[in-house]
Amino acid sequence: MTQRKGEKPTISIQEHMAIDVCPGPIQPIKQISDYFPRYPRGLPPALPHVGPLHRALAGASASLQATKKDEEPDVEGYDSDDSTTLGTLEFSLLYDQENNALHCTINKAKGLKPMDHNGLSDPYVKLHLLPGASKANKLRTKTLHNTLNPVWNETLTYYGITDEDMVRKTLRISVCDEDKFRHNEFIGETRIPLKKLKPNQTKNFNNCLEKQLPVSLLHPTHTAAILCYKSLEERGRIMISLKYNTQKSCLVVGIIRCAHLAAMDANGFSDPYVKTYLKPDENKKSKHKTAVKKKTLNPEFNEEFCYDIKYADLTKKTLEVTVWDYDIGKSNDFIGGVSLGINANGERLKHWFDCLKNKDKKIERWHTLTNELPGSLND
C-alpha cells in the first residue's frame, strides 16, 4: 500500500480487526463444550480458581444428573446414537378390524446388548399400549435364556381394540433381561403409532432398539394424554351387545366377554362378574348380575338381560355397566366401569345411537373400562 508524505498511515478494516482481536499469535477458537465440561456421574471435582457462576453451573449439572437417575433408575440416559448397540427387533402387527383384535407377532432379535456377567442375556419382550397405565394393557413373551439372538415366533393379542384406539394409541415394545435375583433390566424399546397400520393388512418391522424415551422427548400431545390417563386408568375391555326388541318392547343388553382385566387378587388374577343398571331407576329394580368367573382376566359370560321400556324413553336413560372382583368374606373389588347413553361420548354414544336407529338388530361393540366408578352407583 502506498503512503503520501505527511499523511497518517491508512489501515484496512481487515488489518484493524486483526490488530484488535489477535494482537499476537493466533490461538485456536474455543468450542462451546470447553465452557461446559462433562463430568462422570456424581458430583464434579473441586474447581480451583473459579467464580460463583462456574460453581453454580457445576452444581446444577450434578442436580440434573441426580434427578434423571431418580426418574429412570434402569436407564442411563437417552442417546439416539447408542441405539445401534442395543440390537434390532423383528416383529409384525395386524389389526383385525372385524374382530377388534390387534395381533403382535414377535419374531426375533439380533445383536442384543449383553446384560449378564457371562456376556449374554435372558431376554423377553413386553408390550404396553399407550396411553394406559394398567397392567391390563401389558402383555409379554416367554423368556429365552443365555442368548443375544433370541427367536420367539410368538403372537400376543390385544382384544377389544376399536378404530378410535387405532387413531390415538401407540404400541410400546420393550426388550428386557430377566434377572431372578434383582430387578429385571431394560435393554431397549421401539414405539409404533397404531395409526400407521391399515386394517386387515399385516405390516412387518425390523427396528433398531432405542433407549427409553424420557417424557420430555415425546410429542406434546402424547405427553398430555399420558398425564390425563394417569387419573383415568384403563382397567380392561368389555364387549356389550344392545338390541331393542319391538315385539316385547324391551331393551336386551348382552354381556358377552371381557379382555385384559386388571388383576385384583394376589395370585395375579381376578374372579370377575358384571353388574348392569338402567338409570335413572327410581324403584331400584334395574340391577342385573352375571355369574362369577373364577381366576381369569379374560372371562366369557354370554348372558343377556331384558329391560321393559318404551322405545321413546330410551333417550332419557343411561346404561351403566360395572365389572367387579368377587371376594369371599370381604367387600368385592371394583375393577372398572363404562356408561352408555345420550350423555356419553365417542364409541359409547355411537353404540347407543346405533341401537336406537336399528330396531330389532343386535349391535355388538367393545368398550374401554376405566377406574372411574359411575357416580349414580354410589347410592
Q: Is the pLDDT of residue 362 over 60?
A: yes
Q: Is the pLDDT of residue 333 over 90?
A: no
Separation CA 326–CA 335 (nearest Å): 10
The C-alpha cell at 220 is 406434546
**Residue 66 neighbours by CB under 8 Å, 6+ apart:** none
Separation CA 297–CA 159 (nearest Å): 12
Q: Is the pLDDT of residue 332 over 90?
A: no
Predicted confidence at residue 376, as pLDDT, reads: 43
Mean pLDDT of the chain: 77
Separation CA 319–CA 279 (nearest Å): 6
Predicted confidence at residue 134, as pLDDT, reads: 59
Residue 358: its H or E element = none
Dihedral (Cα; 189, 298, 303, 373), 10-degree rounding: -60
User: 182-195 pLDDT, tens per residue?
Assistant: 788 899 999 999 99
The b/e string for 267-292 (b: 16+ C-beta within 10 A; e otherwise) is eeebbbbbbbbbbebeeeebebebeb
Is 72 strand, coil or helix? coil
User: 45-79 pLDDT, tens per residue?
Assistant: 444 444 544 454 445 444 444 433 333 333 333 33
Predicted confidence at residue 303, as pLDDT, reads: 96
Is 38 strand, coil or helix? coil
Instruction: Give the sign of the dihedral formed by CA 140, CA 141, CA 145, CA 148.
Output: negative
CB atoms within 10 A of CB 237: 26
Quickly state the pLDDT bin for 133 (edges 50, 70, 90): low
**Percent of the chain as helix, strand, coil, to the nearest 5:** 25, 35, 45
Instruction: Give the sign of the dihedral formed by CA 228, CA 75, CA 182, CA 188.
Output: positive
Least confident of 75-79, 92-96, 299-303: 75-79
The C-alpha cell at 150 is 433370541
Predicted confidence at residue 55, as pLDDT, reads: 52
Predicted confidence at residue 8, as pLDDT, reads: 55
Instruction: Give the sign of the dihedral formed by CA 216, CA 218, CA 224, CA 228.
Output: negative
Q: Is the pLDDT of residue 151 over 50?
A: yes
Least confident of 250-254, 276-280, 361-365: 276-280
DSSP assignment of 219-236 equals -HHHHHHHHHHHHS-EEE
User: 152-177 pLDDT, tens per residue?
Assistant: 999 999 988 988 889 888 999 999 99
Q: How far from each other are the two terminal CA atoms of the chain, in whole angstroms?
A: 100
Separation CA 314–CA 22 (nearest Å): 86
Q: Is the pLDDT of residue 276 over 80?
A: yes
Q: Residue for cell digits 390415538? A: 168
Strand partners for 172:
128, 191
| Cβ–Cβ under 8 Å, residues 215 and 223 | yes
Residue 349: its H or E element = helix 346-357
Whether the link from the prior residue into 280 is cis, omega within 30° of 0, is yes
| Cβ–Cβ under 8 Å, residues 196 and 203 | yes
DSSP assignment of 114-149 equals P-STTS---EEEEEEEES--SGGGEEE-----S-SS
Looking at the chain, the number of H-run helices and the number of E-run strands are 6, 16
Predicted confidence at residue 230, as pLDDT, reads: 40
> Which of the pair, 30 or 283, is modelled with greater confidence?
283
